[in-house]
């Protein structure tokens, strides 16, 4: 069964859940520039998946999946920094990094499957 809308993509759903978790963990942060950056990057993950899905070609979708991957990496990098700055505890940081790694694996898997299907359809 082909996916008909981006909301059906499990990776988009997990990226939305991840953004909510980031919001919940940084809602009380007083470092407003850090908070703004990590929130914006977390939102960008699911938004790039959605935007790419509605593009007209697979290469466009793949390009946006790479954007989503980059945003996810940015959030993960900031999570490591947030631990060093004592914005989050070790346990919560580890949980969020685990979520980020799962999303990353899913994005790369989707990119690979789309790349393979593109090369077999050529």
pLDDT digits (tens, 9 = 90+) for 18-61: 999 999 999 999 999 999 999 999 999 999 999 999 997 899 99
Domain ranges of the chain: 33-120
Residue 78: per-residue pLDDT: 98
pTM listed for this prediction: 0.92
Instruction: Report how far apart the first and last C-alpha atoms of the chain are (Å, whole number).
Output: 22
The encoded tokens of residue 7 equal 């909301």
Is residue 121's pLDDT more than 60?
no
The domain defined by 33-120 folds into de novo design (two linked rop proteins) (1.20.1440)
Q: What pLDDT score was predicted for residue 33?
A: 97
Distances in Å between the Cα of 116 and the Cα atoms of 3, 10, 11, 48, 56 are 17, 20, 19, 21, 18
Q: DSSP character for 99?
A: H
pLDDT in tens, 59-110: 999 999 999 999 999 999 999 999 999 999 999 999 999 999 999 999 999 9
Distances (CA, A) of 95 to 9, 51, 76: 22, 27, 11
């Amino acid at each position: 069964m082909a996916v008909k809308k981006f909301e059906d993509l499990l990776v988009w759903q997990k990226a939305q859940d991840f953004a909510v978790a980031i919001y919940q963990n940084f809602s009380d942060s007083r470092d407003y520039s850090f908070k703004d950056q990590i929130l914006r990057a977390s939102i960008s993950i699911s938004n790039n998946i959605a935007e790419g899905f509605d593009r007209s070609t697979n290469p466009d979708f793949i390009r946006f999946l790479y954007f989503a991957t980059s945003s996810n990496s940015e959030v993960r990098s900031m999570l490591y920094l947030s631990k060093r700055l004592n914005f989050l505890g070790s346990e919560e940081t580890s949980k969020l990094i685990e979520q980020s790694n799962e999303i990353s694996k899913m994005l790369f898997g989707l990119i690979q499957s789309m790349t393979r299907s593109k090369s077999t359809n050529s």
